[in-house]
Structure 1
């Protein structure tokens, strides 16, 4: 048998199976911010559409859990939160552009690598792209008649979730949105620090499921929840007029503002 070569410290450092350090994660966030701000408008919009659809898939998964009235409150909220994580897992693993995650472009702005014009351009394009993707998802869900599942309870849950969001008072709505994006940015930060898909999934799980379980307000998820609830309500689910366009606009304006602050 040949001699076993000794393990060299340089080889161990090269492998680096552990996550990035906070300083390395910040450097990565700044570099990604520069890249995102410089992205071509068409590519940015299409990538944002994907993110809007991905978050909608997670939101739909959440509605499936909420349609089971037999689940205890805590179990329903926690399980729904875990299911919602699907959306951000897809966003981070596929490299799509999500408005709430892109609030972290302020890292690149703070270091002087990106001007405010670049940040605001990205936020505007991504918000609109997320909305477009959410609307496509709503159309697919309605054409597939998902609301009829479980004897129509899924459709009732879709309307119930949306109706609860349009009646929130402005102050709690705003601060629920602030808290939401604190958790989302922490999840995205963990995703930046991760080296593998497994790292990303595990790192995302707790912060995202926590904000969903606590009922915080995510503007991109609400693009799906609210419009889907509006269409389901028009199709006969829930009380007539439970979700209206004015309520959707009200929620999206305040939840977007709160997410930016968060």
Structure 2
């Protein structure tokens, strides 16, 4: 049958966590760079669809295309790693220092890919700087300001809001990672992961890698946002909130309820590293 049971999906998460934690820095940087760029493509596509239809839900419906490409290609997205790679440490298969180093490299690579795509899109939207921002470019400017200075204007309440939105966002994003593990078929994986990713984007929650593209691109286009606005009122709190949402509400929660029973006489850290199904490792790499 095509459907994979939740307990087996968690076994696949554990196998993938060890595979991801063992990746070289070169692979983390390459796969992370591509993920950042692809999520930028998906975001600009969603904004284009919203502008053309004047219906934000249409933009949310198409946004998951980037996430699908990332998952199916086995690339590295730090938000997904918050739920998956961390299990390598939780299960005792890797040290926490190794896991956090891995997450750090992926974060930097996602940032580089997002900035690269943003710079290229800036050239397209402004005719290489010859035209003033209009259409989708103007939308990006407004979004960049709404994600930073609008929160800053609210003070403590703004900070609480942005962190909460980040937690809710990655709760759904990481559910998308896990849902991709519940099917053997490509179509089944796409449909399963599409649902939670659509859910987060349609409600305007905060995703750290999406913001790595939107905010600096908005700044290039003339948004009234400083570097400190970007990092203090969005990037840092959103990344922390995404970690909580992915690690606590998805990775750790599912591990606690579905973790495999220990085999008598076998140390957990010595558990087999091979995936328990053909879909074990690659789909969980986002």
Task: Give the TM-score category using the shorter length.
Answer: 0.7 to 0.9
Alignment TM-score, normalising by the size of structure 1: 0.84
User: Deviations 1:190-249 (Å, cap 9, x if unpaired)?
Assistant: 11222122112111222111111111000000000101111112xxxxxxx533222211
Residue 221 in 1 paired to residue 201 in 2? no
What's the secondary structure of 1:171's corresponding residue?
helix
- The 3-state SS of whatever aligns with 1:95 is coil
Q: Which residue of 2 aligns with 1:132?
A: 112
State whether residues 44 and 97 of structure 1, in contact with CA within 8 Å, keep that contact through their aligned partners in structure 2: yes
Partner of 1:51: 35
TM-score norm. by structure 2 comes to 0.77
Tell me, in whole angstroms, the C-alpha distance in 2 between the residues paired with 1:143 and 1:212: 26
**Residues 144-188 of structure 1: CA distance to partner in whole angstroms, max 9, x if unpaired?**
227899x92111111111111012210000010000010011000
Residues 50 and 58, structure 2, Cα contact 8 Å, conserved in 1: no
Residue in structure 2 matching 1:192, options 178, 181, 194: 181
- Is structure 2 residue 64 aligned with structure 1 residue 85? yes
CA RMSD for the aligned pairs? Answer: 1.8
- 2:86 equivalent to 1:97: no
What stretches of structure 1 move > 3 A for 4+ residues in a row?
146-149
**1:163-174 alignment, distance < 5 Å:** 163-166=145-148, 167-168=150-151, 169-174=158-163
Other structure's SS at 1:144 match: helix
Q: Secondary structure at the residue paired with 1:100?
A: helix
Q: CA, structure 1 residues 60+214, in 2 after alignment: closer, same or farther (shift >3 Å)?
A: same
Task: Specify which of 95, 100, 110 is matched with residue 115 of structure 1.
Answer: 95
Q: 1:78·1:210 contact (CA, 8 Å) conserved in 2?
A: no
Which one has a bigger Cα radius of gyration? 1
Equivalent residues, number: 233
Secondary structure of 1:243's match?
coil
CA deviation vs aligned residue, 1:53-102 (integer Å, no higher than 9, x gap) = 1111111112213434x62xxxx232111121111111101111000000
Distance 2:225 2:192 in 1: 35
In the alignment, is the contact (CA less than 8 A) between 1:33 and 1:114 conserved in 2? no
Gaps of 5+ in 2: 152-157, 246-286
| 1:242 to 1:65, Cα distance in 2 relative to 1, 3 A | farther
Counterpart of 2:166 in structure 1 is 177
Match of 1:207 in 2: 196
Tell whether the 8 Å contact from 2:36 to 2:77 is kept in structure 1 after alignment. Answer: yes
Q: Distance in 1 between matches of 2:204 and 2:219?
A: 20
**Structure 2 SS opposite 1:152:** coil
Cα distance in 1 for partners of 2:163, 2:22 equals: 30
1:34 corresponds to: 18
Task: Measure the CA separation in 2 of the matches of 1:119 and 1:77.
Answer: 37
Which residue in the other structure is 1:12 paired with?
Answer: none
Stretch of structure 1 that moved more, 220-229 or 59-68: 59-68
Extract unaligned runs of 5+ from structure 1.
1-16, 234-240
Output the CA distance in 2 between the equivalents of 1:143 and 1:197. Answer: 35
Query: Does residue 246 of structure 1 match 2:225?
Result: no
